[in-house]
Amino acid sequence: MREIVIGAAQMGPIQRADDRAAVVARMIALLDRAKAGGCDLVVFPELALTTFFPRWYIEDQAEVDAWFEREMPNPATQPLFDRAREHEIAISFGYAELTPEGRHFNTSILTDRAGQIVGKYRKVHLPGHSEFDPDRSHQHLEKRYFEPGDLGFPVWRNMDAWIGMMICNDRRWPEAYREMGLQGVELVLLGYNTPSANSQRPDETLETRLFHSDLSMQAGAYQNATWVVGVAKAGNEDGHALFGGSVIVAPDGLVAERAETEDDELLVHACDMDDCDFGKATIFDFKRHRRIEHYGRITAQTGVIRPDGTTG
């Protein structure tokens, strides 16, 4: 048995006026609860240190850069790293990263139980748009503020498991899971901030949106025989509703734990990495059953090209 007790640390809303110190204090409180619950690893959401600022159109670059972290850890987040090290709990969380070269990424990191950063992932599948759209009820400007991630989908050996990360919209793309699945991933850590309503689909219900979120993560878990820990930032954030629905999904695709609120909430589950073995060896034995000679189109083109040459 290779058991990791995981805490999925869902966070309630972070308002635009909230400073980093207040947010980090909430994260530490969740970390303390995780220690009491016997957790080895705690996973926080995407952009865990700030409100979801891509909902606003901002022209002043200095104002944009104020939402970004230039180093990690930094003075604001050092108390979180210190507490995690004290508790001997590994952590993963998302933030907006500004590199020394001036590049902007939507990033997640993973530490070991000694508080050392052992993995970094930059969001690949950026949703939304890059310019102000007057037809939207709210903006979604990730393509304006972030570059697509440039690190691919790596996995890292940590706590005797192969661990990978993805962020929010990545969960809807089967290629993201498969890239890690082909590296033997056993645990996928995923943070998200997802609106409760779609401005492009006003008829879509919250129930449907939650179903699609679950469907993406459960399918990725089952088809790659891996644990998936999906952790939300949720609630009414600056007048914009984000749904919760944080889950811990087992390698058989079944939900092992599910959040019940849209507030700060900790899900705890003992995840046995050996539970991945049956699916990897029997149901989806990639080495024996994959037929890569038929998959060339997946990486040869992006949009749809029909057999008659029309596109869509």
Q: Distance of alpha carbon 17 from its chain centroid, rounded? A: 24
- Known catalytic residue at 46: yes
Are the C-beta atoms of residues 51 and 19 closer than 8 Å to each other?
no
Are the C-beta atoms of residues 275 and 251 closer than 8 Å to each other?
yes
- Known catalytic residue at 39: no
Catalytic residue, from 168, 186, 271, 280: name it: 168
Residue-wise DSSP of 252-268: TS-EEEE---SSSEEEE
Catalytic residue, from 46, 186, 262, 265: name it: 46
- Known catalytic residue at 168: yes
Q: Distance of alpha carbon 201 from its chain centroid, rounded? A: 23
Catalytic residue, from 39, 97, 123, 280: name it: 123
Are the C-beta atoms of residues 168 and 192 closer than 8 Å to each other?
yes
Residue type (1 letter), 308: D
Count CB atoms within 10 A of the CB of residue 169: 20
Q: Cis peptide before 73, with omega less than 30 degrees from 0?
A: yes
Angstrom distance (rounded) from CA 99 to CA 257: 36
Angstrom distance (rounded) from CA 140 to CA 40: 35
Active site residues: 46, 123, 168
